[in-house]
Amino acid sequence: MAVGVFDSGLGGLTVYDAVSKRLPDVAFVYYGDNAHAPYGVRDADDIFNLTCRGVERLWEEGCDLVILACNTASAAALKRMQESWVPKDKRVLGVFVPMIEALTERKWGDNSPPREVAVKHVALFATPATVASRAFQRELAYRAIGVDVEAQPCGGVVDAIETGDEILAEALVRSHVEALKRRMPHPEAAILGCTHYPLMQSVFQEALGPEVTVYSQANLVAESLTDYLTRHPEFEGAGKVSKFLTTGKPASVSTHATQFLRRRIAFEAA
C-alpha cells in the first residue's frame, strides 16, 4: 500500500516524517513541486492547476489517497478539487482539518452549534495566499465562538527554507513574530499554518515565549491519517515503493532536505 504526500516543496517533509514514523508499514511517495515553490504568492487558479498536476503524478505511483501536506494548496485549491475534479475511487485530503479539530477539541463531523473553546487569542502564521483565503478563520467560525485570530502573512520564509538559507529564515521568522505581537501582544496559542514552518519551530517558540502553545500539524496529521486508513482501508493504494519525487533539481533538493531533516533524503526527478 502507498500513500501520496504532496507539497510545493520541502515543507511537506515535516508531515512525511511524522506519518512515516507513525505508519512504518505504509509506503509513502513524496512529491515536492520545488520548481514552482513558493505557492504562497500565486493566485488560486495557478495553485489549483499545479496541485492537480502533482496529485495526478502521485496517482500514477499507485497512491489512491493523497495528503496535501501544504496549507496553501489546502486553502486555495482543495475544496474545488474535491467538488469538481477528484474521481470517486481516489481521495485527496488536506492538513487543515486535524488542526481545527485539535484547537476546537471536537471532531470534524460534529455539526453541533459553535461553542466556546479554551483558547481565546490565537496567532496564525501562514503564507500570504493562506492568510488571504481566510479558510482557517472560516472553518474555525463554524465550530468555535469568541476566538480572536490574528493572522501574520510570513512573506519570504518559504523561499529562504527552499534555498537552504537558515539564517535568513530565522531572521524573517523573528520579524514576523514581532510584527504579530505588535497587534496581539499576548497570544495563548500559535498555529504554524504552513508545513515549512515546523522546520523553524524552535525559533517561533523562542520568539513567542514559553507561555505560548505552538501547534504544528505533523503529528496531528499522522494521527488523523492512521484513523482514516483504519476506517477506509480501500484507499490503501497499490504502490509498494517509497520514494521522493521533485520537479526541481534532485541534487540540490536532496541536499536541502537532508539538511533540514538531518538524515539522508534522496530525491529523483518527477
Among 1, 2, 5, 11, contact with ligand DGL (rule: CB under 6 A): 11
The answer to whether the beta carbons of residues 4 and 63 sit under 8 Å apart is yes
Binding part of the chain for ligand DGL, among 85-93, 188-196, 202-210, 253-261 by CB under 6 A, reads: 188-196
Per the structure block, which three cell numbers stand in for 29?
Answer: 511517495
SS3 91: strand
- Number of residues this chain uses to bind ligand DGL (CB under 6 A): 17
Distance CA 39, CA 17 (A): 21
Among 1, 3, 6, 7, contact with ligand DGL (rule: CB under 6 A): 7
Minimum CB separation of residue 41 from ligand DGL in Å reads: 7
Kindly list the strands in the beta sheet with 91-93, ordered across the sheet, starting from the edge strand earlier in the chain: 91-93, 65-68, 2-7, 27-32, 243-246, 267-269
Distance CA 117, CA 236 (A): 35
Residues 191-230: x where in contact with ligand DGL by CB under 6 A, - otherwise, as a string: ---xxx----------------------------------
CB-wise, 70 or 214, nearer to ligand DGL? 70
CA angle 69, 171, 266 (to 5 degrees): 40
Asked whether position 70 contacts ligand DGL by CB under 6 A, the answer is yes
Distance CA 64, CA 88 (A): 10
70 has catalytic annotation: yes
194 has catalytic annotation: yes
Residues 19-58: x where in contact with ligand DGL by CB under 6 A, - otherwise, as a string: ------------------xxxx------------------
Q: Which residues in the 114-133 window bind ligand DGL by CB under 6 A?
A: 127, 130
Minimum CB separation of residue 222 from ligand DGL in Å reads: 16
Per the structure block, which three cell numbers stand in for 206?
Answer: 523562542
Q: Which amino acid is at 71?
A: N
Residues 150-179: x where in contact with ligand DGL by CB under 6 A, - otherwise, as a string: --------x---------------------
Buried (b) or exposed (e) across 16-54, using 16+ Cβ within 10 A?
Answer: bbbbbeebeebbbbbbbbbebbbbbbbeeeebbebbbeb
* Torsion sign (Cα): 173, 179, 185, 190: negative
Minimum CB separation of residue 13 from ligand DGL in Å reads: 9
Binding part of the chain for ligand DGL, among 65-73, 202-210, 220-228, 252-260 by CB under 6 A, reads: 65-73
The answer to whether the beta carbons of residues 153 and 32 sit under 8 Å apart is no
213 is in an annotated binding site: no
Residue numbers at the binding site for ligand DGL (CB under 6 A):
7-9, 11, 37-40, 70-72, 127, 130, 158, 194-196
> Which residues are catalytically annotated?
70, 194
Known binding-site positions for substrate: 7-8, 39-40, 71-72, 195-196
